Amino acid sequence: MTVDPIEKVRDQYDLTPYPNLPATDMGGDGDRGVILHSYASAWYAKTQHVDDRQDVTILDVGCGSGVTTLALAIANPRARIVGIDLSETSLRLAGERLTYHGFPNVEFHKLAIAQLPQFKTEQSIEFDYINCEETLYLQTDIVESLRHMRTVLAPTGILRINVHSLYQRIDFFRAQAFSRLIGFLNSNPTSREYQMISGIMEALADDNLLKVSTWLPSDKSLDFVLMNYMLIEDKGYTIPDFFQMLRSANLEFIGMTEPAGWHLPYLFPNGMPDSIVDFLHNATPEKKLHAYELLHPANRLLDLWCGHSGRSPEYIEIQQWTEGMWKSAMIYLHPVVRTDSFFQTLDRAIAQMQPDPNVQKLHRSHLDALTVILCLRFMRKSPCKFSDLLDYWCIHKPKLEAYRKVSTIVGTAVPTVHKMSDRQAYDELRFLLSELVMDRVVMLERFD
């Protein structure tokens, strides 16, 4: 008798919930992960406008053991949140996790994606935001799953989805094909199969290509092996595949959740060849992203936001703003981190001239940490005018550099402060804020 693939997936996660962490463990990626689970981030990506409203309805599809649901609850504390999954074991752990961390009102339902239209009718509910992570690549028909989610998405709603990258995961798909070949995936893998595949990988020569590309010395846990070598129904896709699925489901692309990881100019640190500049000038977002994955398939997930309609008509990429647009802009610190404790951390870092490691996790490493902190401190009274930040920068950025030099000298040397021109300050801030917007830490609105 043929077993329904979805039932096999359910059985696997009943055996080993994912992530398989105790309810006391929050999991996730700290403030960085919370920012990405904030409705405000998705809305800004779609409209380039800031919306900090909290009376939203959120659906977490394939919520698993509740780690993503907890991030959603922290990021949107006054939202109505519903989590659905096929695995009773996972749902039970998810409920325990959310209750332990102070969110007992989050709802959980044992529900397949195909049952969402019926759920909408029974509950009289539509969702402003749907989060579907690490789930679609296990579905038999992704387009049909997208259509089901689209039926419960509010007219202005936003859907976050991701699938595995074919190019980045190609070696793991080979590993799964090998596991299938020798019978490890005939039924749900258990700790027995884990021991067997671990034994095979350890026995392979150290220069074996599959071992070199997949067998991580830092992680040989049961979870790692099950989710990579023996993940039932796992599949990989390319950017063109994903965009075609969106079109087939009548959904429109909004943007990648982590745009900095898909920014083609970053692949050319010494400047882009003219042919790439010409390509970027004429290419669609789909072609730009496809070029990136062909040149540098570093992202495990193709992770994006989409919806019924695309970005607002007046949306213009930050990199294309004119000087007039910049000088009329208002600057917002992301609401997730706009707290008294966060600003106290920034003040302490400046006073001690020492970057804070938690703040550093919010932005990419190529940005100078103390310069970022100096900029973020000004947003204590968010929103603020770009023109006001420009005046502040002309005075305080030179002071920062002067004291940074003095702090490396023994004694009580008096810092020499060099004046900064308005043009230099403008150029520095334009670059810095553009990068922080791409990192989702800062939001800019134009009022030209």
Residue 417 has pLDDT above 90, yes or no: no
Cβ neighbours of 277 (radius 10 Å): 12
Going by C-alpha positions, the residue among 114, 109, 123 that lies closest to residue 69 is 109
Instruction: Say yes or no: 340 and 200 in one domain.
Output: no
Cis peptide before 5 (omega within 30 of 0): no
Per-residue DSSP letter, 42 = H
236, β-bridge pairs: 164
Instruction: Say yes or no: 341 and 415 in one domain.
Output: yes
Residue 284 has pLDDT above 80, yes or no: yes
**Is residue 271 one of the residues assigned to a domain?**
no
Going by C-alpha positions, the residue among 347, 269, 233, 255 that lies closest to residue 302 is 255
Instruction: Say yes or no: 76 and 14 in one domain.
Output: yes
Number of domains observed in the structure of the chain: 3
Instruction: Say yes or no: 188 and 245 in one domain.
Output: no
- Structural domain including 35 reads 5-167+238-258+299-307
**Is residue 195 one of the residues assigned to a domain?**
yes
Instruction: Say yes or no: 135 and 224 in one domain.
Output: no
**Is residue 264 one of the residues assigned to a domain?**
no
The single residue listed with the structure tokens 């900090």 is 52
**Is residue 286 one of the residues assigned to a domain?**
no
Last residue of a domain, one of 273, 307, 341: 307
Instruction: Say yes or no: 110 and 248 in one domain.
Output: yes
pLDDT digits over 353-401, tens only? 999 999 999 999 999 999 999 999 999 987 999 999 999 999 999 999 8
The torsion defined by the Cα of 209, 213, 217 and 221, in degrees rounded to 10, comes to: -110
Residue 271 has pLDDT above 70, yes or no: yes
**Is residue 280 one of the residues assigned to a domain?**
no
Q: How confident is the model at residue 9 (pLDDT cuts 50, 70, 90)?
A: confident
pLDDT digits over 48-58, tens only? 999 878 899 99
pLDDT at residue 220 in the model? 81
Instruction: Say yes or no: 123 and 248 in one domain.
Output: yes
**Is residue 279 one of the residues assigned to a domain?**
no
Instruction: Please give the share of the chain, as a percent, with pLDDT higher than 70.
Output: 96
pLDDT at residue 12 in the model? 84
Residue 412 has pLDDT above 70, yes or no: no
Is there a contact between 240 and 268 (Cβ–Cβ < 8 Å)? no
Q: How confident is the model at residue 1 (pLDDT cuts 50, 70, 90)?
A: very low
280/264 Cα distance (integer angstroms): 9
**In the predicted model, what is the mean pLDDT of residues 118-130?**
96
Mean pLDDT of the chain, nearest integer: 92
CATH number at residue 80: 3.40.50.150
Instruction: Say yes or no: 254 and 201 in one domain.
Output: no
17/125 Cα distance (integer angstroms): 28
pLDDT at residue 190 in the model? 79
Is there a contact between 234 and 137 (Cβ–Cβ < 8 Å)? yes
Instruction: Say yes or no: 119 and 161 in one domain.
Output: yes
- Rg for the chain (alpha carbons), in Å? 24
Higher per-residue pLDDT: 310 or 80: 80
Instruction: Say yes or no: 150 and 195 in one domain.
Output: no
pLDDT at residue 395 in the model? 92
Residue 445 has pLDDT above 50, yes or no: yes
Instruction: Say yes or no: 155 and 56 in one domain.
Output: yes
Residue 415 has pLDDT above 90, yes or no: no
Residue 420 has pLDDT above 70, yes or no: yes
**Is residue 98 one of the residues assigned to a domain?**
yes
Q: Which helix (H) or strand (E) covers residue 162, if one does?
A: strand 153-165
Residue 170 has pLDDT above 80, yes or no: yes
The reported pTM is 0.93
Instruction: Say yes or no: 212 and 254 in one domain.
Output: no
Local structure of 395: helix, strand or coil? helix
Q: Which two tokens stand for residue 136?
A: 């679609």
Exposed, middle or buried, 192 (CB in 10 Å: 0-12/13-18/19+)? exposed
The single residue listed with the structure tokens 């959980």 is 108
**Is residue 153 one of the residues assigned to a domain?**
yes
Is there a contact between 350 and 393 (Cβ–Cβ < 8 Å)? no
Is there a contact between 83 and 94 (Cβ–Cβ < 8 Å)? yes
**In the predicted model, what is the mean pLDDT of residues 311-319?**
81
